[in-house]
Amino acid sequence: MIEIYLFVNPIGKKCLSIERRIIDLINEYDMKIQLRLIPIMNLKTVSEFMQRIGASEKDLNLRTELSQEIHSAALDVKAAHLQGKKRGRDFLVELQKTVGEQKQPYSKKLAIQLFSKVGGDLEMFLEDRRSAFVQEAFLTDQQIAHEMQITCHPSAVIYNYGSDNDAGIRIEGCDTIHHILDTYNTKESLIAFLESQSKNTTIRQQDADNHLSLI
């Protein structure tokens, strides 16, 4: 079995393109792939997001606003996931598509509308959204990201549990993830890639922001 941890910005369109690609691969491959979508937020990822949208990192008001939006959206996603992985994934895709691609401003009202669109139990969603459990789940995700040394989104960590080596392969950066998924786009080639990388203890730097490494 292959397990993929995908660390994303819940309102970012670049992460959406990666999610769509991985979901397509899951549907195409004759193999079990477990996808864990993990929304993350820290100072570095917020700074990176500001750069992508062409905003000045010195704009403290915007930084605070974006941090609050990403944090709130991440809690929405965690609450949606409590009603099943597929519903949580569908909600995340709708959120990223609406805010990231269509440029609609994020709001709690919008999150409610999108959750209703994917067909979940709205009353349960609102109750879970306010719960301490969802906040704790978000903090657990941030701890996982810290332990895996995730510094940007999107980033992916892939484990091949059919291999004798239990190391994970960390792939950082949108372009690098797309390159890997496009290059190793069959069951056999993907497994061969993961096995070859798990035997390599050196970091292969692609460029300043995109690289593969063993963890």
DSSP code per residue over 43-83: HHHHHHHHHHTT--TT-HHHHHHHHHHHHHHHHHHHHHHTT
Q: Which range, of 96-100, 106-110, 196-200, averages the lowest pLDDT?
A: 196-200
Q: Which range, of 4-8, 48-52, 189-193, 208-212, averages the lowest pLDDT?
A: 208-212
Distance (Å, whole) CA 51 – CA 111: 25
Q: What is the mean pLDDT of residues 25-42?
A: 83
Q: Which range, of 35-44, 69-78, 161-170, 187-196, averages the lowest pLDDT?
A: 161-170
Q: What is the mean pLDDT of residues 142-152?
A: 90
Pull the structure tokens for residue 38. 């993990």
The answer to whether residue 163 scores a pLDDT higher than 60 is yes
DSSP, collapsed to helix, strand or coil, labels residue 120 as: coil
Distance (Å, whole) CA 94 – CA 51: 23
In this prediction, residue 96 carries a pLDDT of 94
User: What count of other Cβ atoms lies within 10 Å of the Cβ of residue 64?
Assistant: 11
Tokens 């949580």 -> residue: 88
User: What count of other Cβ atoms lies within 10 Å of the Cβ of residue 79?
Assistant: 26
CA distances from 166 to 5, 38, 211, 215 (A): 15, 21, 20, 9
Amino acid at 55: A
The answer to whether residue 14 scores a pLDDT higher than 60 is yes
